[in-house]
Structure 1
Amino acid sequence: MLRAARLDDLVELGSLTPQAAEFLHASVRAGLNILVSGGTQAGKTTMLNCLAAAIPGSERVISAEEVFELRFPHPDWVPLQTRQAGLEGTGEIRLRELVKETLRMRPSRIIVGEVRAEECLDLVLALNSGLPGMCTLHANSAREALVKMCTLPLLAGENIGSRFVVPTVAASVDLVVHLGLDHHGRRHVEEIVAVPGRTENDIIEVEPIFRRSGGELRRANGMPPRTGLYERHGIDVRRLLAVGAEQEV
């Protein structure tokens, strides 16, 4: 079974173009918040592993999962896992509790294996506080992933409303990487979209950066948000994406 450990491996497998891989690598180094979406068996965990492998070794990474699936090389990584209740009905540790616990462990970056329920609220609040992070989510498109990201926090309680959640998600998520399967069963990146942080009528606006067209992942017109983070790490993201556009042409 072929396994990819880094973004370069995905390029060799044909799931990603070199330009898109370089952009994602730069985005991880810069500390952007990345949401990986897709259907079942689309390769979300593999993509998350490859993105996590690009995190600088000087950072402290804390991950939270229901089942240990993440495996990436990093010198300072603390993985956390949920626990079911025992026969007595005690001892349960939910994913929401783990997400809260990661904030007490001096993280430089947090990773949630898969967001399914009310733990999404705690993750969004953590990302909104300036802590970089990544997670995966089941969805049929990048736009639907953002809609689901806005819906799941409502499960946390009746006092949580969409008027609070939608702008908070728009300000917290920077990039959405959506994955898919072709008719041959091959996994590939369908689109990479930027979330500039704007909303209209409770709908989060997006800007496609890469989009699959004609069987190839091509450069679109969008630009990532928070370009100052790239500049802080010495990355000229405009030149990087401009070079990608020239090579696609």
Structure 2
Amino acid sequence: MSLSTAVVTERVRARLRADRTDPSVRPEEAHRIAQFEVRRHNDQALARGTATIDDEAACVRDILAGVAGYGPLQPLLDDDTVEEIWLNGPAHVFVARDGRSERVPLALTEAQLRDTVERMLHAAGRRVDLGQPFVDASLPDGSRLHVAIADVVRGAWSVNIRKFLPRYRSLDALVRQGMVPAEVAGMLAEAMRAGGSVIVSGPTHAGKTTLLAALVAECADQRVITVEETFELGVQTADLVALQGRQASLEGTGEITLRRLVKEALRMRPDRLVIGEVRDAEALDLVLALNTGVPGAATVHANSAAEALEKLSLLPLLAGRNIDRAFIAPAVATSVDLVVHCGRDADGTRRVVDVISPAAVDADGRIGHRVLFAGGPAAEVGP
């Protein structure tokens, strides 16, 4: 941002404060004020013989990004080709496009980075400080923000913004994009509409949340309750309740865990319970809910669909000593209908790798499975 633009930005910000105009609520008025101040600056510059702002429209966009958006990061947030943005300090900015990462020629100052993060957290109603050096938050457009500050991070702040692009919100869109084969999309859509329980597995950045959101979009006639640590799914159905966890306060009180949210969700008459990510003892509550006849959907980190089943058999054991695998494994096998595994190739391409259906449990408590899709004919695995 040039010195002239910075000066005009401060004038616009002062005008907005004086007029008590919220640029996010009244964008047209903010645009009018910014345009007026840019032209006033140029009139004064011409009278004094100093440099003018040549591209008024671009300057107005920069000013509005600074006062209403998220400053230098706003163009990246507006870019539909960018899937994720991360900063290793203010001077090292990276993005991911089509699964590949690249560094962008953008550098912020420490003050700009902190100001941007504060505005993002203000919109989400969350905070980050020395007493709480990590924070997850959801931005107004559905993107997920994660921030880590010193002294848990060496040097400058670390910021990640994972965007969830609207063009990938349906199974049809994922088929066109090449992530989901058409026959698999039909199988998954039928399972969701018929009240089946589907688990989406895969490594980090494999597209699990994107696929889960597309699956839930098939449940237009169902009452859907979603449970997440931070709002990410962005599901839009007619009958929806979206629940989000809450971190503990500085006094250590007020925390709302996923386990608590799952229990509350079951009191809301769900036709389908959706857990954004299962990674702890909430797996027990999910399995118990599925065994009471409530269809479910969730994601889990795993290296294969079979490993995801194994993980769902083990995670509930974290809930307490009175839980054993002899109870959990059969419960998982009878309540989960499909496990669809996502992968990411070396070139960044995301795709569905395989789909399995749980089978019988062997004497060691391991769940067998039947392969429904793996680029070849179905096969029986396990007992």
TM exceeding 0.5: yes
Residue in structure 2 matching 1:48, options 212, 218, 229: 212
Larger RCO, structure (CA 8 Å, separation 6 or more): 1
Distance 1:34 1:109 in 2: 11
Residue in structure 2 matching 1:183, options 346, 367, 373: 346
Distance 1:21 1:116 in 2: 26
Distance 2:337 2:261 in 1: 23
Q: Does 1:90 pair with 2:240?
A: no
Deviation at 1:73, TM superposition (A): 2.3
Residue in structure 1 matching 2:377, options 212, 215, 220: 220
Distance 1:112 1:98 in 2: 10
Distance 1:162 1:18 in 2: 36
Distance 1:11 1:64 in 2: 26
Distance 1:86 1:105 in 2: 27
Distance 2:362 2:325 in 1: 13
The runs of at least 4 consecutive aligned structure 1 residues that moved more than 2 Å come to 218-223
Match of 2:115 in 1: none
- Please identify the structure whose Cα radius of gyration is greater: 2
Residue in structure 1 matching 2:224, options 51, 54, 61: 61
> Which secondary structure does the structure 1 equivalent of 2:356 belong to?
strand
Counterpart code for 1:187? R
Per-residue displacement from partner, 1:138-181 (whole Å, max 9, x unpaired)? Answer: 00001110111011000000110111111111111110000001
- Conserved in 2, the CA contact under 8 Å of 1:194 and 1:222? no
Distance 1:219 1:48 in 2: 24
* Alignment RMSD (CA, Å): 1.3
- Conserved in 2, the CA contact under 8 Å of 1:193 and 1:222? no
With structure 2 as the length reference, what TM-score do the two structures score?
A: 0.55
Distance 1:12 1:118 in 2: 37
Distance 1:72 1:105 in 2: 17
Residue in structure 2 matching 1:115, options 254, 265, 278: 278
Distance 2:377 2:168 in 1: 26
> Which secondary structure does the structure 2 equivalent of 1:206 belong to?
strand
Deviation at 1:182, TM superposition (A): 1.0
Q: Does 1:4 pair with 2:161?
A: no
- Conserved in 2, the CA contact under 8 Å of 1:35 and 1:135? yes
Counterpart code for 1:154? L
Deviation at 1:222, TM superposition (A): 5.6
Counterpart code for 2:180? L
Distance 1:36 1:154 in 2: 21
The number of aligned residues is: 215
Q: Does 1:126 pair with 2:283?
A: no
Q: Does 1:200 pair with 2:362?
A: yes
- Conserved in 2, the CA contact under 8 Å of 1:127 and 1:133? yes
Distance 1:88 1:184 in 2: 46
Distance 2:274 2:204 in 1: 19
Distance 1:132 1:187 in 2: 27
Q: Which deviates the most, 164-173 or 118-127? A: 164-173
Match of 1:18 in 2: 182
Deviation at 1:135, TM superposition (A): 0.3
> Which secondary structure does the structure 2 equivalent of 1:168 belong to?
helix
Distance 1:220 1:210 in 2: 7
| Runs of at least 5 residues in structure 2 that lack an aligned partner in the other structure | 1-80, 82-164
Residue in structure 2 matching 1:34, options 198, 203, 209: 198
Distance 1:13 1:101 in 2: 37
Distance 2:288 2:376 in 1: 31
Deviation at 1:220, TM superposition (A): 2.6
With structure 1 as the length reference, what TM-score do the two structures score?
A: 0.84
Structure 1 residues 136-155: aligned runs within 5 Å: 136-155=299-318
Distance 2:180 2:342 in 1: 10
Match of 1:234 in 2: none
